Structure 1
Amino acid sequence: MLIVFEGIDGSGKTTLSNRVAQELRQAGLRVRHVREGGQLASPVSESLRRFTRDPANLALTPMAELLLYAAREAQLLDEVTRPALATHDIVITDRFFYTAEVLARWGRGLPETSVRPVLDACARGLKPDLVFLIDVDPTIARARRKISKIITPKPGAPSRKGLAGAGLQVRLRAGYRTLAEESPGRWSLVENAGLPLEVLVTRLVQDILHVRGDQRLPAPASRASATPTVRSLSEARARFLAHIDRWMDEEPALAAYYLARFDGEDMAERREQLAAHCPELVAYSLTGLVTPAAWRLRRRLAEQAPVQTLGSLTDAALAAPESWGLRELLVKRAPMEVAASLNGLDSEQAWNLRERLFFAAAENVVASLQRIDSERAWGLRLRWLADVGGKEALGLERVARTACRSLRGLDGERAWQLRELAWSAAPDAVLRSLEGLEGPPSWRLREENVARAPRAVLDSLAGLDHPRAWALREAFGTQCEEALNSIEGLEGVAAWGLRSVLADTWPAAAAKSLGPLETTARGIAFTERLLAQHPEDFALLRHAARCAADTTQRLRHASA
């Protein structure tokens, strides 16, 4: 019996499939999970997986990508899955050929007539007995992936698939749901939100046992109901807090994550309750905050969560007087993170700390020089480059990525020479380094690569009010919410036009793109209209909750 778990990244399918395998073994069944622990049982398939994830392979075409995904699954099928079906009661796989189909058709736009024959030839008639589609709002899925990275930071490059932007996961989810609707007898939709893990595992195990007995459980009664309309920012904040309070019991990590950048006594109280359970995420949630309560909590959590505490020193907290005390407290324990917390700082205090940290954390010291174009900064860059092997070392991915982080926002001949040498090893990092640049080489590089890496290109347009920037945004705006992220705070006909066109596709991003405009009469009306039309959109609800707090604070200052 072949059981497949499918779903977008962050849906929880890997966790659920591994737990289900354990429970079925305890029930006395011989179970083989071909991706137990998150790694494919075939070394060849795992190598192909790493190749398709590598952002250095930016030029990979949609058809070539499909063939590689198909090869990965075909190798796993022939090497592991088919033999296991002959010797085990149940074989479980986390992803099947459906992943390749959804990515190719809904993700990359290849026609079904090109995709299906390839995958059918690889499957050679084998079909799963049951497919569990683990379904979740892409916003929640993204949060769960970020939570894992915050708790256990992992060095290395982002995945190539992530360069397509947040819109890819939305399209993939639609593709999976379409396949499930086409084959309701084989597919089972499982919503992974609002239910404890143990409840979901028990349900899945029961479904499998019933199918083995040639019985199917009756379809559960639909719990879907219309989401009440949200009429104001204050209502949005109340509803957001209701979500947070439910998650504090059911999924405290998610609750702590979503408190990020929220100020106010009510938020501080919730952080206090969560601090013992999720110290890393509570420290992360203090990002950019400069209230006395935030500094007290940082000092409390510094020993338990030094990486996340230092990571919270951004925006107004970056150069605040209290931040230097924290850096001194943690400089020996977390030198890499202390160096990273100096991003863009050009003060004498920052330079003195860089000199102290250079031998212990050279890469992060150099990366912290972004947007600093002084001779002093260039001297440190070239010193580091000489230590790692000279300009030839820019052909190595790790060196190339560090150099590109250091070059972010810098123009000029020296910066472009290093970018050219780094391109083959880390093209996505080169594109990100173009943030804010408006010279001819920047536009050429963006326009040549926007189809391959729209997210990296659109992120580099942040704050640019330039005709070529608007052309790139409009070309990919319907597929990438990053087009809206890049116009945060921009006002004018083009900015409001793009917000209006994309508001129903990306309501949360449209509202967030207002930036400081969110507390104006026009901004409030825009957000409240979106709330009325999309009351179920949690990301929009969260943004509106922050907007409510900002508006209240502005009114208090005005009255004072």
Structure 2
Amino acid sequence: MLIVFEGIDGSGKTTLSNRVAQALRQAGLRVRHVREGGQLASPVSESLRRFTRDPANLALTPMAELLLYAAREAQLLEEVTRPALATHELVITDRFFYTAEVLARWGRGMPESSVRPVLDACAGGLTPDHVFWIDVDPTIARARRKISKVLTPKPGAPSRKGLAGAGLQVRLRAGYRTLASESPGRWSLVENAGLPLDVLVTRLVQDILQLRQGLPLPASAAQAVPAPVLRSLGEAREHFLRRIDRWMDEEPALAAYHLARFDGEEVEARREQLATRCPELVAYSLAGLVTPAAWKLRRQLAEAAPVQTLGSLTDAAQGAPESWGLREGLLQRAPMEVAASLQGLDSEPAWALRERLFFSAAENVVASLQGLDSERAWALRLRWLSDAGGQDALGLERVARTACRSLKGLGSERAWQWRERAWSAAPDAVLRSLEGLDSPRAWQLREEHVARAPRAVLESLTGLEHPRAWALRETFGAQCEEALNSIEGLEGGAAWGLRTALADTWPSAAVRSLGPLETTARGIAFTERLLSQHPDDFALLRHSARCAPGPLPRFQHASA
């Protein structure tokens, strides 16, 4: 029997499928999971997976991408899955050809007539006995992926798929919904929200055991949860914090993560409750905060979560007097993170720390020069590049990425020479380094590559009101909420026109784009209108809760 787990990135399918495989083995079944521990059992397939994820392969066309995804699954099928079906009672796979179909059709817009024949030929007539579609709100899925990165920081490049922007996961989810509706007897919907992991694992194990007995599963349907009626920002805040209180029992990591950038006495009480269970995520949630309570909690968490504590030194907290004592105390334990926390600082204390850290954390020291175009900054860059092997080293991915982080927002001729050398190794990083630049060379790069990397290009438009910036936003805004992120705080007619046009597609991004305008009468009215129309949009709910004036509701534990 072949069982497939499908779902968008961050849905939990990998965790669930591995836990289910373990539980079924404990029940006495011979089980083969072809992606045990998140690693594809075929080395060839794993190599193809790494290739398709590599953002250096920016120029991959949708058809080439489809063929690579199909090749990955075909190799796994012939090398591992078919042989396992002959020797095991149960074979479990995390992803099947459905992944390639959903990405090609709904993600990249390819027609079914081009996609299906390729995948049918690769499948060779094999059809899964059952597919469990693990469904979750893309906002929650994104948060879970971010939590994983906060807890286990991984150096290296971001995924190429991520260059399409947050909207890709929304489109992929719609694709899975369509495939599930076309084969209701073979597909089961599993909502991975609101239930503990152990409960979901038990239910899935019971379903699979029932399938092995030849018994059909009942038709699955999304649980009908009445949407809240939200008439004001204050009501949104209360509803959001009730959700946080539930998560404190069900999934405390999500609760801690979603408190990021919230302030107030009752939020502090929730952080205190979570600090011993989720120290890294509570430290992460302090990003930018400069209240006495925030500094006290940073000092408490510095020992257990030094990386995340230093990472919280952003915005107003970055150069605050209290930040220097924290850096000094953690200098030996986390030199790279201390260096990273100096990003963009041009003060004498920052330069002194850079000199002390250069030999132990050179890459992060250089990356911290973002936005600094002085001779002092360039002398440090050139010193680092010389140690790395000179100008030719910019063709190495790791060096290229560090260089581009350092060059973000710089339009000098020296910066452009570095970008040209770095392009072959890290094109996505070059595109991100264009943030705020308004020059012919910057516009040419953006317009040539926006179709392949819309997220990186749209993020580089932050604050720009050039006609070419508006043209790119209007063209790709329906696909990528990052178009709205790039107009935060802008209040002209073009900005309000874009917000209004995309508000129902990306309601939370539309509200987030208000920036300081969120407290104006027009901003409040705009937000409350969207709340009433999209009461079940959690990202919108969260941002609206941050906008709400007045005291926060008193903390009450979910089990009270």
Secondary structure of the residue aligned to 1:189 is strand
For residues 456 and 218 of structure 2, what CA distance do their matches in structure 1 show? 46
- d(CA) in 2 for partners of 1:141 and 1:225? 19
Structure 2 SS opposite 1:199 = helix
Q: Name the CA distance, whole Å, in 1 between partners of 2:440 and 2:497.
A: 26
Count the aligned residue pairs: 552
> 1:484-509: per-residue Cα shift (whole Å, max 9, x none)?
00000000110000000000000000
How far residue 510 of structure 1 moved from its aligned partner, in angstroms, is 0.3
Query: Could you tell which deviates more after superposition, 291-300 or 220-229?
Result: 220-229
1:370 aligns with 370
The match for 1:546 is: 546
How far apart in 2 are the matches of 1:276 and 1:221? 37
In 1: Cα distance, 2:221 partner to 2:485 partner: 39
- Local SS of the residue matching 1:4: strand
1:266-281, aligned counterparts within 5 Å? 266-281=266-281
Aligned partner of 2:454 in structure 1 is 454
Deviation at 1:236, TM superposition (A): 0.1
Equivalent residue number for residue 16 of structure 2? 16
Structure 2 equivalent of residue 471 of structure 1: 471
Q: CA deviation at 1:7?
A: 0.1
C-alpha separation in 1, matches of 2:519 and 2:366? 38
Q: Distance in 2 between matches of 1:221 and 1:320?
A: 52
Equivalent residue runs for 1:61-140 within 5 Å: 61-140=61-140
Query: How far apart are 1:154 and its partner, in Å?
Result: 0.5
1:517-528 matches, cutoff 5 A? 517-528=517-528
Instruction: Give the equivalent residue in structure 1 for 2:555.
Output: none
Q: Tell me, in whole angstroms, the C-alpha distance in 1 between the residues paired with 2:165 and 2:51.
A: 19
Q: Answer yes or no: is the 8 Å Cα contact 2:188–2:219 preserved in 1.
A: no
Equivalent-residue separation in structure 2 for 1:90 and 1:180 (angstroms): 22
CA distance in 2, matches of 1:222, 1:353: 54
Letter matched to residue 380 of structure 1: L
Deviation, 1:218, is 2.8
Deviation string, structure 1 residues 233-291 (Cα, Å, up to 9, x no partner) = 00000000010000000000000000000000010000000000000000000000000
RMSD: 1.0
SS in structure 2 opposite 1:215?
coil
Mapping for residues 186-205 of structure 1, pairs under 5 Å: 186-205=186-205
Q: 1:222 to 1:254 in 2, by over 3 A?
A: closer
**Residue of structure 2 in register with 1:501 after alignment:** 501
Q: Give the superposition deviation at 1:292.
A: 0.1
User: Which residue does 1:228 correspond to in 2?
Assistant: 228
CA-to-aligned-CA distance 1:86-115 (integer Å, 9 cap, x gap): 000000000000000000000001000000
CA contact (8 A) 2:30 2:88 kept: yes
Alignment-derived partner of residue 329 in structure 1: 329
What is aligned with 2:55? 55
User: Would the aligned equivalents of 2:107 and 2:171 in 1 still touch at CA under 8 Å?
Assistant: yes
Return the alpha-carbon distance in structure 2 between the equivalents of residues 347 and 221 of structure 1.
58
Structure 1 residue identity aligned to 2:479: Q
Distance in 1, matches of 2:64 and 2:103, equals: 12
- Residues 143 and 254 in structure 1, CA contact (< 8 A), matched pair in contact too: yes
Query: Is the CA contact (8 Å cut-off) linking 1:288 and 1:312 kept in structure 2?
Result: yes
Contact 2:167 2:481 in 1 (8 A): yes
- Name the SS for the 1:319 alignment partner: coil
Equivalent in the alignment of 1:242 = 242
Which secondary structure state, in structure 2, belongs to the residue aligned with residue 369 of structure 1? coil
Contact 1:478 1:505 in 2 (8 A): yes
Question: Does 2:302 correspond to 1:316?
Answer: no
Corresponding residue SS for 1:29:
coil
Say if 1:207 and 1:216, in contact at 8 Å, map to a contact too. Answer: no
Aligned AA (1:70)? A
How far apart are residue 170 of structure 1 and its match?
A: 0.2
Structure 1 segment 203-218 matched on structure 2, within 5 A: 203-218=203-218
Contact 1:24–1:31 (CA<8 Å) still a contact in 2? Answer: yes
* Partner Cα separation in structure 2 for residue 369 and residue 456 of structure 1: 20
1:346-385 equivalences under 5 Å are: 346-385=346-385
Paired residue secondary structure (2:32): strand
Q: Could you say which residue in structure 1 is the equivalent of 2:165?
A: 165
> Which residue of the partner structure matches residue 556 of structure 1?
none
C-alpha separation between the residues in 1 aligned to 2:174 and 2:139?
A: 14
Instruction: Tell me if the contact between 1:34 and 1:93 (Cα under 8 Å) persists in the aligned partners.
Output: yes
Other structure's SS at 2:504 match: coil
Gaps of 5+ in 1: 554-560
- Larger mean Cα displacement after TM superposition, 137-146 or 228-237: 228-237
Matches within 5 A, 1:407-446: 407-446=407-446
Contact between 2:136 and 2:193, CA under 8 Å: does it hold in 1?
A: yes
**What's the CA shift string for 1:11-51, capped at 9, x where partnerless?**
00000000110111111110000000000000000000000
Structure 1 counterpart SS, 2:154 = coil
Q: Percent identity of the aligned residues? A: 84
Q: Distance in 2 between matches of 1:519 and 1:552?
A: 16
Task: Quote the residue 1:386 is aligned against.
Answer: 386
Q: 1: CA distance between counterparts of 2:184 and 2:221?
A: 15
Letter of the 2:418 counterpart? L
Query: For residue 306 of structure 1, what is the aligned residue in structure 2?
Result: 306
Output the TM-score relative to the length of structure 1.
Answer: 0.98
Contact 2:433-2:460 at 8 Å conserved across structures:
yes
Structure 2 letter corresponding to 1:59: A
**Structure 2 residue 348 is the aligned partner of structure 1 residue 343:** no
Distance 2:524 2:299 in 1: 36
TM-score of the superposed pair, with normalisation by structure 2: 0.98
Q: Distance in 2 between matches of 1:231 and 1:270?
A: 25
Q: How many Å apart are 1:440 and its aligned residue?
A: 0.8
Kept after mapping to 2: 8 A contact 1:256/1:274: yes
How far apart in 2 are the matches of 1:377 and 1:442? 22
In the TM superposition, residue 225 of structure 1 has moved relative to its aligned partner by 3.3
2:12 and 2:166 mapped to 1: Cα distance?
A: 18
Q: Distance in 1 between matches of 2:208 and 2:226?
A: 31
Shift in alpha-carbon separation, 1:221–1:450, aligned structure 2, 3 A = closer
Identify the residue that residue 263 of structure 1 maps to in structure 2. Answer: 263
